[in-house]
Structure 1
Amino acid sequence: KLLCIRIDHNQNVIMPEGHWIRSRQRLGGGVLIGSGIHRVDLLRWFGGEVKKVANFWVKQPERMEGEIAVVMNALFESGCIGEVTALWAVRKAPWYEGVWVYGTSGSVYRINGLFWDSPDGYVKVDVPEADSFTEELRHFGHCIINGQKPLTNGEEAKRSLEVVLAAYRSAETGQVVELPMQ
């Protein structure tokens, strides 16, 4: 049974004055909708449907109108909890992605490789490297040719967007927001 899922995304995004990413209206927000939405989608892929969200953010208006740092906490229908932490303000640090999945029978994490909690301790799992964009396009083309539904289809993307919009409402109101939103 899943207990907790944590996903981190850290970049140092500095865009020139007038760039569309600096505009909250044009981007739709900040780091959460710009990059975090993909992590929300992954969070949902592991944990299932989100029941509630609580979100906190940091803004730096001289850098961009939207948020530059966000911590979104989620409660899943299964009872599992999850967190997405996304930053576009990590100075002098490499682009960093981390995924941790904890369950009653063990855990798996991905930081500079994939590791799982074996009886002998954490063991690195050899996974072939792949270009995610190439594989995404290959999968999409395969679905078109074979009349299949993509792994992440419009309905799934809409559910992830609803989680992000609920997180924005939570940050703005200071309240936990239940899904589906009214």
Structure 2
Amino acid sequence: MSTIDSQVEQWLRRSFSRKTFIQTAGRGLAAGALGSVVGACSAGQQALRGAGAVPNLPPESPPAQIPPQVDEPIRLETWKSDADRQSPPTPSPLPPDQRVGYALVGLGHLTLEELLPAFGECARSKPVALVSGSPEKMQRVAQQYGIKPENCYNYETYDQLKDNPEVQAIYIVLPNGMHAEYTIRGAEAGKHILCEKPMANTPEECEAMIAACQRAQRLLMVAYRIQYEATNRLVRDLVRNQHYGKVKYIEAFNGQSSANPDHWRHKIALAGGGALPDIGLYCLNTIRFLLGEEPTEVFAYQYSTPGDPLFREVEEMVSWQMRFPSGLVTNSATHYQAHESRRYRVMAERGWMNMDAAFAYQGQQLAISYAEGQQERTEEVQLPVKNQFAAEIDHFSTCILEGKRPYTPGEEGLQDHRIMAAIYQSAREGRPVALPHIEGKDRFRGEDPKAL
């Protein structure tokens, strides 16, 4: 057992039996066990409303009835010794007729390359309908995934989803500027909404989306997959529990190279901005997730190469700092013309945690360094891999089935947009911009999912 594994296990033993730890680690969630102690909850909603920090929350949807034992793992005999990594629980998917049915809106790269394949790893979710403006492509995709022809819609017939009982939830995978319209229409059709990030183009659009789902008494969740990914969750719990002392500094970068000026990401009406809302948002949201705090001030720079057709409407680069109530200052940057790099480093009093491929769809690489006597030890931490998209989709399905508020509800997306608006303002005006002081931890999140 590595030193970091030993340290994590020693911490867990103070609150858990070894059996509980092994079961949790077997699921790839040493972080999950830690998180069950930390427990990010949305307590004090009435106090929040009184303080004006969070919009009114939608009423909880009535839970579905799941037969007992259906989704419990089948227990098998023990065969491995304690010297080896334990096997995870057996897969325990719900029967197909009890899974939440999703309509996917938009058949672009993300849907075809990531989301539809991820449903194959879901235990509580299934794709049952498609919405696209390309009939030929939609027909091929429907055939590939066994979706009925009558469950294929275009953007004009989208509202007819209200008459389809097979669809309980809609996954919005459209350009950012279309999120608000199709979320509102989807809620009015009586469906729960899972919306890709960024939530919209502006804070005002986010507020309208939240209000529409409240009126319809339907759940709204933003697809912040990082908050459901095991390795990032482990870093969060090490940070929250000060495993290496207090965090003193965080730096984060997310960059990639663009090439097509006609892509919707380079059109301000569809994208709402450039590198910041598309990929810089990962730095912003992940730092908030790790700390549980909300920034009180931002200071930013923005730049675009003059004459580059890629950046006629949207920015190429944004660099910004955030100050937090604890006194911590973080530094982030995002770039649309840099070789792909997605990483962050957390510097604490007695060690640091470095995550490469932090925001990627897979391949997270966590290294931790700390002193041990006269030695400086640097270790790599590997957790069993689980599809990030399957984890977030199944979490939303669990919320629908059990009548719970999602961990990343619309209010979480709204807060990011308010902070991004302040970042843009700071870059324009060349000065720090203050944000409202928000007390407490995880004030915009729902109950932390303990098992993913």
TM-score (normalizing by structure 2): 0.37
1:37 paired residue number: 281
Which shifted more, 104-113 or 63-72? 104-113
Alpha-carbon displacement from aligned partner over 1:3-29 (angstroms, at most 9, x marks no partner): 111111111122243x32112232111
- Measure the CA separation in 2 of the matches of 1:77 and 1:25: 34
- Measure the CA separation in 2 of the matches of 1:13 and 1:138: 32
Q: Indicate conservation of the 8 Å contact 2:296/2:435, yes or no.
A: yes
Equivalent residue in structure 2 for 1:85, among 328, 333, 348: 333
State the number of aligned residues.
177
1:22 aligns with 2:274: no
**Residue identity matched to 1:12:** S
1:177 paired residue number: 433
**Residue identity matched to 2:268:** R
Q: Indicate conservation of the 8 Å contact 2:342/2:356, yes or no.
A: yes
1:117 paired residue number: 369
Matches within 5 A, 1:32-181: 32-47=276-291, 48-60=293-305, 61-64=308-311, 65-90=313-338, 93=339, 95-111=340-356, 113-118=365-370, 119=372, 120-180=376-436
Cα offset, 1:174, TM superposition: 0.6
**Residue identity matched to 2:309:** E
Q: Indicate conservation of the 8 Å contact 1:15/1:21, yes or no.
A: no
Task: State, as a whole percentage, how many aligned pairs show the same letter.
Answer: 25
TM-score (normalizing by structure 1): 0.89
* Structure 1 residue runs without a partner (length 5+): none
Q: Indicate conservation of the 8 Å contact 2:261/2:310, yes or no.
A: no
Greater radius of gyration (CA):
2
Q: Which has the higher contact order (CA 8 A, sep 6+)?
A: 1
SS of corresponding position for 2:379: strand
**Residue identity matched to 1:23:** K
1:7 aligns with 2:243: no
Q: Indicate conservation of the 8 Å contact 2:261/2:309, yes or no.
A: no
SS of corresponding position for 1:139: helix
- Measure the CA separation in 2 of the matches of 1:57 and 1:177: 15
- Measure the CA separation in 2 of the matches of 1:26 and 1:50: 28
Alpha-carbon displacement from aligned partner over 1:66-123 (angstroms, at most 9, x marks no partner): 1111111111111111122111101xx3x32101111123221112510112334211
2:443 paired residue number: none
From the superposition, tell whether residues 172 and 25 of structure 1 become closer, same or farther in structure 2 (CA, over 3 Å). Answer: farther
Cα offset, 1:57, TM superposition: 1.4
- Measure the CA separation in 2 of the matches of 1:39 and 1:82: 10
Q: Indicate conservation of the 8 Å contact 2:255/2:279, yes or no.
A: no
- Measure the CA separation in 1 of the matches of 2:404 and 2:350: 34
Q: Indicate conservation of the 8 Å contact 2:258/2:337, yes or no.
A: yes
**Residue identity matched to 2:369:** D
Which shifted more, 71-80 or 56-65? 56-65
Alpha-carbon displacement from aligned partner over 1:123-159 (angstroms, at most 9, x marks no partner): 1011222332222112211222122222222112211
Alpha-carbon displacement from aligned partner over 1:21-54 (angstroms, at most 9, x marks no partner): 1122321111101221232111111231101101
SS of corresponding position for 1:138: helix
2:8 paired residue number: none
- Measure the CA separation in 1 of the matches of 2:349 and 2:402: 38
**Residue identity matched to 1:166:** A
- Measure the CA separation in 2 of the matches of 1:77 and 1:87: 28
The structure that is strand-richer by fraction is 1
**Residue identity matched to 2:322:** A
Compute the RMSD of aligned alpha carbons: 1.8
